[in-house]
Structure 1
Amino acid sequence: MDWQTVASGLFPQGHTIHEHDHLLSGTGTVDGETVAVIGTTGHAPIGIEIALAQATAVLATVRANPGRPILILVDTQGQRLRHRDEMLGINSYMAHLGKCIDFARRQGHKVIGLVYDQALSGGFITSGLMADACFALPDATIRVMGLPAMARITKVPEERLTELAKTDPVFAPGAENYLRMGGLQALWEGDFAPLLAAALASDDQVDRRRLLGFERGGRKLAHPVAEAVSTGSHVGAA
């Protein structure tokens, strides 16, 4: 789904979102509340310029509009794979973006992520996954690493990974699998505006991704291991 259609559904009361070099920025109004919108489109490769531009937009919102909710619209193919970006420290730029989003949250800004098209690797980790809660459209393409690349890195045959992906969401791409793992709060279908309004109205400030992954059967050990570490007990102990 293109960003214009998504924006119209999210903000039936109007918006000022515009696109420039794969960067989305502006504001929208939902349920009488103004929301800052920052994001990407066109399967944007996240290079140093767009990472810095997003971080700048987040800090500008914190500075000019204290407490204003922030919506991050995600459509990215991940970090840009260029020697120039690597030499200039793309990892630091992306870390800076993640820190700015965390800073905004700590300053009282509700941050919501929405994957409306594609979300891959570091471009997703330092944007949508840094939000208080991340949502996605059912047809969104989400993955950290494709199975062919995973096979090269892990030395596990691609055929074996393909077989594992049929039953284990950790190996499988797609919004439904990220929902099972707890990375997504929910999938949005139908009328987007009330869904966004409800997400913004939620005052739950606890990160429940590990617990959601455990309850949904997508990540069975992250939550019990974290609980065991925090309490000094053993996994599986009474």
Structure 2
Amino acid sequence: MEAQETMMGKGREAIEMIVDPGTFEENTVGGKTIADDDYGPGAAVGTAKLDGKEVTIIASDGMSFNERFPVVYAGVIGMEEGYKMAQSVYASMEADKDKPLDEKRALVLIVDTPGNGPGKVEEIFGMNKSTGAYQLALAEARLAGHPIVAMVIGRAVSGAFLCHGLQADNILSLDANFGTIIHVMPLTSVSRIIRKDLEVLEELSKDNPVFASGPRFFHTLGGVETLVDKVEGMRPAIIEHIASIRKAKAEGKQDTLGPWGRGALGAERGGRALRPKVMDVMNKEFEAVADKYAPAR
């Protein structure tokens, strides 16, 4: 494929490409005002219509800068951003708590983040609690029946992707020809941690999805359900996945979605071939000693 113009830093543009024209209402979810524009500027949250149905939008704004925390810029998810995103999820759940399963609004996550903001001030104030709160909120919303789709348009890196993306029911990504980046950490960091020469890891990364990075390798691992090959394809792909997620949840097939479902998908695609074997061994070993640790009845 030919290289395409990157969507990196264009989270707000992506919102308008995806939702019904003119329907995005920022900082309002279910009648609740989340925050003003000055709070957590790296997170653009609000309500929109998608194919005529109300959805919650949670997007990375890579063009913003948080003046209170100098390390939070270019899409970094800092303490304020994490809490702002978590509040939008809980506001969605509260607004739809009495609605039947098929009417619970979808959450659309637009992902373009180079990581968390590990500044000293944020660490002291509790940045990890913030991003953990957001991750927990998404997990609770997913289990409560809200369809959650993450659309990677630029960068999806490390702990920021962990909280803003990996708890989704399905993850979609623009293909690698858009310059899309998905990885846990760069090979230089992996080299230092596991004490392997960088040259060895670079050779492994050519065909081993565990060491490689990028949307195509994550697709092989099952970490990305669908690759989208053009920006015009984001909207219909998201609509299609929301529908398929609703169907799976209505049929009680939640285990085919989210982190658990992606693990099975990776095995099917050959990227995580040993996963089922390891799980089988662990299950058998647990069953052999389960009676010793089972709670008394």
TM-score for both structures, normalised by structure 2 = 0.73
Secondary structure of the residue aligned to 1:54 is helix
Structure 2 residue 43 is matched with structure 1 residue 23? yes
Which of 31-40 and 2-11 deviates more? 2-11
**Letter matched to residue 6 of structure 1:** A
For the aligned residues, what is the CA RMSD? 2.0
CA distance in 2 between counterparts of 1:181 and 1:22 reads 29
Counterpart CA distance in 1 for 2:51 and 2:122 is 41
CA distance in 2, matches of 1:14, 1:28: 8
Task: Flag structure 2 segments of 5+ consecutive residues without an equivalent.
Answer: 1-6, 28-36, 63-73, 98-103, 249-253, 287-297
Aligned-residue offset at 1:95: 1.4
Alignment partner, residue 63 of structure 1 = 94
1:123-202 equivalences in 2 (<5 Å): 123-138=160-175, 139=178, 140-190=180-230, 191-202=233-244
Q: Could you tell me how far apart the structure 2 residues matched to 1:14 and 1:62 are?
A: 24
Q: Provide the C-alpha distance between the structure 1 equivalents of 2:164 and 2:284, rounded to a whole number of angstroms.
A: 31
> Residue by residue, what CA displacement relative to the aligned partner does 1:179-204 show, whole Å, maximum 9, x if unpaired?
11111111123432221111111123
Structure 1 range deviating more: 177-186 or 213-222 = 213-222
Tell me if 1:41 matches 2:61: yes
Q: Tell me the amino acid that sits aligned with residue 84 of structure 2.
A: A
Contact kept in structure 1, 2:158 and 2:185, CA below 8 Å: yes
Percent identity between the two aligned chains = 30
Structure 1 residue runs of 4+, over 4 Å off?
Answer: 17-20
**2: CA distance, partners of 1:29 / 1:215:** 34
8 A Cα contact 1:121 1:144, kept in partner: yes
SS of 2:115's equivalent? strand
- Alignment check: 8 A CA contact 1:23 1:41 kept: yes
Q: Classify 1:227/1:28 alpha carbon distance in 2 versus 1 (closer, same or farther; 3 Å).
A: farther
| One-letter amino acid of the counterpart of residue 38, structure 1 | I
Which amino acid is the alignment partner of residue 200 of structure 1?
I
User: Following TM superposition, by how much is the alpha carbon of 1:118 offset from its aligned partner in structure 2, in angstroms?
Assistant: 0.6
**Equivalent position SS for 2:76:** strand
- Count matched residues: 233
1:6 paired to 2:6: no
Deviates more, 1:174-183 or 1:106-115: 106-115
2:224 partner SS: coil
Q: Quick one: structure 1 residues 145 and 214, their matched pair in 2 at CA, closer, same or farther if it must change by over 3 Å? A: same
Alpha-carbon distance in 2 for matches of 1:213, 1:87: 38
- Structure 1 residue 172: Cα displacement: 1.1
Q: Could you tell me how far apart the structure 1 residues matched to 2:107 and 2:131 are?
A: 18
Letter aligned with residue 136 of structure 1:
S
Secondary structure at 2:114 match in 1: strand
**Richer in strand (by share):** 1
Q: Any idea what SS the aligned residue of 1:78 has?
A: coil
Normalising by the residue count of structure 1, what TM-score does the alignment of the two structures yield? 0.90
In 1, distance between residues paired with 2:268 and 2:50?
Answer: 31
1:226 aligns with 2:279: yes
User: 1:34 Cα deviation (Å)?
Assistant: 1.5
Structure 1 residues without counterparts, runs of 5 or longer: 234-238
Task: State the Cα distance separating 1:92 from its structure 2 match.
Answer: 2.1
Give the conservation status (yes or no) of the 8 Å contact 1:34–1:69.
Answer: yes
Q: What SS does the corresponding residue of 2:196 show, helix, strand or coil? A: coil
The aligned residue for residue 236 of structure 1 is none
Query: In the superposition, relative to structure 1, how do residues 34 and 211 fare at CA in structure 2: closer, same or farther (>3 Å)?
Result: same
